[in-house]
């Protein structure tokens, strides 16, 4: 289905029958992607009055209980409430769900014992383009690895504070990455990129979001896309999410 969409002052032609899902599914397995030093998610049937509520066990319905952490167990979108004393709800603050996005691919650069993504790399990839959302794919990029990686204590690649400031100043409102955090795993709680991007020392950007633990297939080219950023309506700082890209024709 080909659709013509007026977005701001730009007319976009997209094919709604060709969605590109860049989220990762949540599975009740030890192989589910994981971070932040906790166990895997759990999906189990409710047991009530000694009866297991599962069709396999003779019940008329499946009635599962799900236990997970949105920050640790897969693709999630968070608002500034993730790092503020007041817990600003993602459900109350993300009010628009379609954005013009740019997909870029970067190779993190070695910096002493770390690998980082710098302002210079983002500047080179974005140039003069004006976008509401930025989707960052890092290399190497294999589906099996990123869908099952156990990130805890791995010191994953992260962005420099200067890079986060650059994105804020460039007007990027929605920042999507394929790591568990835009910041260093162990940084003594500084969270420099989170604070810089949401401008916690200035005018708090409650309409800006960070989406982490996406997976952008190598079959998806760098370039301009129409992004549908879908969340579950959780009254929480973060929610599981399902970002979908549509190629702009």
* Per-residue model confidence (pLDDT) at position 9: 81
1 — pLDDT class (breaks 50, 70, 90): confident
* Tokens matching residue 150: 């156990």
- CA dist 102 and 125 (Å) reads 9
| Residue 149 belongs to a domain | yes
Q: Is the peptide bond before 140 cis (omega within 30 degrees of 0)?
A: yes
Identify whether 64 is part of a domain. no
pLDDT at 234: 97
Question: In this structure, is residue 98 part of a structural domain?
Answer: yes
What is the reported pLDDT for 196?
Answer: 98
DSSP the chain: -EEEEEETTEEEEEETT--EE------SSTTS-B-TT----EEEE-EETTEE--GGGT-SS--EEEE--TTTSS-EEE-GGGSSSS---HHHH----EEEEEEEEE-PEEETTEEEE-HHHHHHHHTT---SEEEEEESS--HHHHHH-B-TTS---EE-HHHHHHHHHHT--EEEESSS-SS-S-STT--HHHHHHHTTTSS--TT-EEEES----TTSPSEEEEEEEEE---SSSEEEEEEEEEEB-
Q: How confident is the model at residue 149 (pLDDT cuts 50, 70, 90)?
A: very high
156 located within any domain: yes
Q: Which two tokens stand for residue 126?
A: 């974005």
**pLDDT at res. 32:** 98
Range of the domain at 136: 20-31+70-247
In a domain, 216, yes or no: yes
Q: What is the pLDDT of residue 237?
A: 98
Count of the separate structural domains present in the chain = 1
For residue 92, what pLDDT band results from cuts at 50, 70 and 90? very high
In a 10 Å sphere around its CB, with 0-12 CB exposed, 13-18 middle and 19+ buried, how is residue 11 labelled? exposed
**Confidence band, pLDDT 50/70/90 cuts, at residue 90:** very high
% of the chain residues with pLDDT over 90: 94
What would the pLDDT profile of 187-197 be if each residue is shown by its tens digit? 999 999 999 99
pLDDT at 87 over 90: no
Specify the pLDDT at position 81: 97
Q: How far apart are the C-alpha atoms of 227 and 101, rounded to whole Å?
A: 6
27, part of any domain = yes
Query: In which band, very low, low, confident or very high, does the pLDDT at 244 lie, cut at 50, 70 and 90?
Result: very high
Domain membership flag for residue 54: no
Alpha-carbon span 7 to 30, nearest angstrom: 42
Residue 10 reports pLDDT greater than 90:
no
Which residue carries 């396999």 as its tokens? 56
CATH of the domain at 75: 3.50.30.50
45 within some domain: no
Sign of CA dihedral 19, 35, 201, 104: negative
Rounded Cα distance between 76 and 230, Å, is 10
Residue 249, pLDDT score: 85
pLDDT digits (tens, 9 = 90+) for 104-139: 999 999 999 999 999 999 999 999 999 999 999 999
User: Stretch 139-160: mean pLDDT, rounded?
Assistant: 97
Distance CA(110)–CA(99), nearest Å, equals 32
Confidence tier at 66 by pLDDT (50, 70, 90):
very high
Q: Tell me what pLDDT residue 3 has.
A: 84
Q: What is the pTM of this model?
A: 0.96
- The pLDDT score that the predictor gives to residue 8 is 84
Helix (H, G, I), strand (E, B) or coil at 147: helix
């Amino acid at each position: 289905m080909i659709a013509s969409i007026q977005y701001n002052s730009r007319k976009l032609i997209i094919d709604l029958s060709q969605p590109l899902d860049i989220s990762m599914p949540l599975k009740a397995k030890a192989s589910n992607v994981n971070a932040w030093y906790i166990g895997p998610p759990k999906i189990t049937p409710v047991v009530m009055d000694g009866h297991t509520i599962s069709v396999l066990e003779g019940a008329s319905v499946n009635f599962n209980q799900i236990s997970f952490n949105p920050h640790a167990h897969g693709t999630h979108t968070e608002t500034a409430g993730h790092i503020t004393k007041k817990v600003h709800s993602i459900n109350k603050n993300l009010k628009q769900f379609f954005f013009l996005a740019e997909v870029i691919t970067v190779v993190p650069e070695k910096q002493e014992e770390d690998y980082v993504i710098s302002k210079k790399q983002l500047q080179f990839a974005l140039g003069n383009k004006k976008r509401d959302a930025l989707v960052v794919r890092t290399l190497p990029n294999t589906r099996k690895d990123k869908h099952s990686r156990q990130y805890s204590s791995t010191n994953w690649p992260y962005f420099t504070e200067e890079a986060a400031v650059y994105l804020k100043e460039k007007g990027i409102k929605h920042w999507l990455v394929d790591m568990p955090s835009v910041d260093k795993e162990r940084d003594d709680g500084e969270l420099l990129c989170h604070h810089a991007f949401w401008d916690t020392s200035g005018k708090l950007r409650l309409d800006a979001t960070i989406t982490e633990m996406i997976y952008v297939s190598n079959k998806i080219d760098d370039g301009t896309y129409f992004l549908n950023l879908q969340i579950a309506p959780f009254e929480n700082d973060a929610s599981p999410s399902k970002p979908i890209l549509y190629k702009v024709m």
